[in-house]
């Protein structure tokens, strides 16, 4: 037997049909009134009344199927506990809200499976566009990106030929800024606490660090290089391992979470900062300012990158025929108390910004 529409049956959610029937008009008229286009005063009154009585609320899914849009933008990042992504998210949110859309965030945990699954699910029309900042990029990943039915903008490094809108920074130069600063301050035993080497930022920062040391004629001592996760606890543990076998007079950390971990490891090893060991982080997040002493940090322009990514996405949504675009944001170094021995206090001091 063929199912027929129930005659406004039971406690099912009211639809336009329910409202129309109750108001004694056609669903077309009901829909028009509900959308505020047209309708005689009398019709408007009847429909409004009926809608209120049955507690009508439109089904956004059905509306989207028809309109081919949802008014939703998604952002996928590895770890929402990392303040750099929070800053990026805020920048994106501002742009997205401006366009009348809403931003949804998903934390992927850096797992490629998770991220491609998200792409396959969300990008299939649940959202009007996506911004994704992957720390690991695989071929499957790239396929998911280019096959995406909705526009996608990538924040971060991507293969040259990937036909995807992309906003990147130059972390090699960023690392060089930090190393230059430390060398100029007279440091020579510069240690490096990095994130996983199988991640895009991890690999780039490792290469940048080695190149920067080489440019100063400093030999690379692998005992001064340690790897962990991009997190506080891992950064602290990694620094402890490093300190157990070497005596750095400076420490560069691949992000601010690691830097705070390093700071605590240094305290635990009776080292003063910046006197014994100068400390520099990366990403220039709020965390660098919240530490004591405040931590010098390489800004990779995450706010700018987020904003530009959002703008690129909105442009592409408006005009999908645009060619793939690639933008780069220059890094800069924000010097704070953790790397300047002469600095009397972490507070009330103007910070110095150094650009490449």
Partner DNA sequence: TTGTACGCGTTATCAG
Partner DNA sequence: CTGATAACGCGTACAA
Comparing CB distances to its own copies, the nearer of 149 and 159 is 149
Binds 1: which of its own copies, DNA, none (CB < 5-8 Å by kind): DNA
Token pair 């996506």 in the structure block, residue:
130
Comparing CB distances to DNA, the nearer of 20 and 164 is 20
Question: Which pair of structure tokens corresponds to residue 186?
Answer: 């007279």
Site for DNA in 183-212 (CB under 7 A): none
Any contact of residue 4 with DNA (CB under 7 A)?
yes
Question: Which pair of structure tokens corresponds to residue 195?
Answer: 């994130």
Any contact of residue 1 with DNA (CB under 7 A)?
yes
Are the C-beta atoms of 331 and 354 separated by less than 8 Å? no
Question: Rule CB under 8 A: which residues touch its own copies?
Answer: 13, 55, 57-62, 64-65, 70-72, 74, 80-81, 83, 86, 89-90, 93, 102-107, 117-118, 120-122, 124-126, 147, 149, 232, 260, 263-264, 267-268, 270, 286-287, 290-292, 344-349, 352, 354-356
Give the pairing of strands 296-299 and 278-282. Answer: parallel
Rg of the chain over Cα atoms, rounded to whole angstroms, equals 27
Binds 200: which of its own copies, DNA, none (CB < 5-8 Å by kind): none
Binds 203: which of its own copies, DNA, none (CB < 5-8 Å by kind): none
- The H-assigned helical ranges of 139-272 are 139-147, 171-184, 200-215, 232-243, 256-268
d(CA 172, CA 213): 12
Q: Say what the alpha-carbon torsion angle 295, 228, 231, 297 is, to the nearest 10 degrees.
A: 20
DSSP 13: P
Any contact of residue 150 with DNA (CB under 7 A)?
no
Any contact of residue 275 with DNA (CB under 7 A)?
no
Comparing CB distances to DNA, the nearer of 3 and 245 is 3
Q: Note the Cα 114 to chain centre separation in Å.
A: 16
Judging by beta carbons within 10 Å of its beta carbon (0-12, 13-18, 19+), is residue 349 exposed, middle or buried? Answer: middle
d(CA 109, CA 93): 21
Comparing CB distances to its own copies, the nearer of 220 and 290 is 290
Q: How far is the CB of 132 from its own copies (least distance, A)?
A: 14
Binds 352: which of DNA, its own copies, none (CB < 5-8 Å by kind): its own copies
Comparing CB distances to DNA, the nearer of 68 and 275 is 68
Comparing CB distances to DNA, the nearer of 20 and 287 is 20
d(CA 87, CA 283): 10
Q: Which of 8, 35, 272, 355 binds DNA (CB under 7 A)?
A: 35
Give the pairing of strands 152-155 and 332-335. Answer: unpaired
d(CA 165, CA 14): 42
Tell which residue, 276, 287, 268, 177, has the closest CA to residue 230: 287
Any contact of residue 43 with DNA (CB under 7 A)?
yes
Any contact of residue 15 with DNA (CB under 7 A)?
yes
Are the C-beta atoms of 84 and 75 separated by less than 8 Å? no
Site for DNA in 46-65 (CB under 7 A): 56, 58-59, 62-63, 65
Q: How far is the CB of 208 from its own copies (least distance, A)?
A: 26
Comparing CB distances to its own copies, the nearer of 83 and 195 is 83
Q: Which of 21, 29, 205, 329 binds DNA (CB under 7 A)?
A: 29
Torsion angles phi and psi, residue 278, rounded to 5: -85, 140
Name the 3-class secondary structure at 276: coil
Q: Which of 21, 22, 39, 331 binds DNA (CB under 7 A)?
A: 39
Any contact of residue 215 with DNA (CB under 7 A)?
no
Which residues sit at the interface with DNA, rule CB under 7 A? 1-6, 12-13, 15-17, 25-29, 31-32, 34-35, 37-40, 42-43, 56, 58-59, 62-63, 65-68
């Amino acid at each position: 037997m063929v199912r027929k529409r129930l005659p406004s049956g039971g406690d099912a959610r009211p639809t336009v049909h329910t409202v129309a029937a109750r108001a004694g008009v056609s669903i077309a008229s009901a829909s028009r009134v509900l959308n505020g286009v047209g309708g005689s005063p009398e019709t408007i009154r009847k429909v409004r009344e009926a809608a209120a009585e049955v507690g009508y609320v439109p089904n956004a899914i059905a509306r989207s199927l028809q309109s081919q849009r949802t008014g939703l933008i998604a952002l996928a990042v590895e770890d929402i506990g990392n303040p750099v992504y929070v800053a990026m998210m805020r920048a994106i949110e501002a742009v997205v809200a401006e366009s009348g859309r809403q931003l949804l965030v998903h934390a992927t945990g850096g797992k490629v499976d998770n991220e491609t699954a998200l792409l396959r699910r969300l990008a299939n029309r649940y959202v009007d566009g996506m911004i994704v900042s992957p720390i690991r990029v695989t071929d499957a990943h790239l396929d998911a990106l280019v096959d995406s039915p909705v526009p996608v903008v990538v924040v971060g490094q991507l293969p040259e030929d990937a036909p995807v809108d992309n906003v990147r920074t130059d972390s090699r130069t960023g690392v060089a800024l930090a190393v230059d600063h430390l060398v100029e301050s007279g440091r020579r035993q510069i240690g490096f606490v990095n994130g996983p080497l199988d991640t895009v930022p991890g690999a780039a920062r490792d290469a940048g660090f080695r190149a920067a040391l080489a440019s100063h004629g400093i030999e690379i001592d692998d005992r001064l290089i340690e790897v962990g996760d991009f997190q506080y606890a891992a950064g602290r543990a990694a620094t402890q391992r490093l300190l157990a076998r070497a005596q750095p007079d400076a420490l560069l950390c691949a992000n601010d979470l690691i830097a705070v971990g390093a700071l605590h490891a240094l305290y635990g090893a009776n080292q003063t900062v910046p006197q014994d060991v100068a400390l520099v982080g990366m990403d220039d997040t709020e965390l660098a300012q919240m530490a004591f002493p405040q931590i010098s940090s390489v800004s990779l322009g995450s706010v700018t990158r987020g904003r530009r990514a959002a703008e690129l996405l909105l442009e592409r949504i408006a005009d999908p025929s645009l060619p793939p675009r690639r933008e780069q944001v220059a890094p800069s170094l924000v010097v704070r108390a953790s790397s300047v021995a002469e600095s009397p206090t972490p507070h009330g001091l103007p910070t110095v910004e150094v650009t490449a």
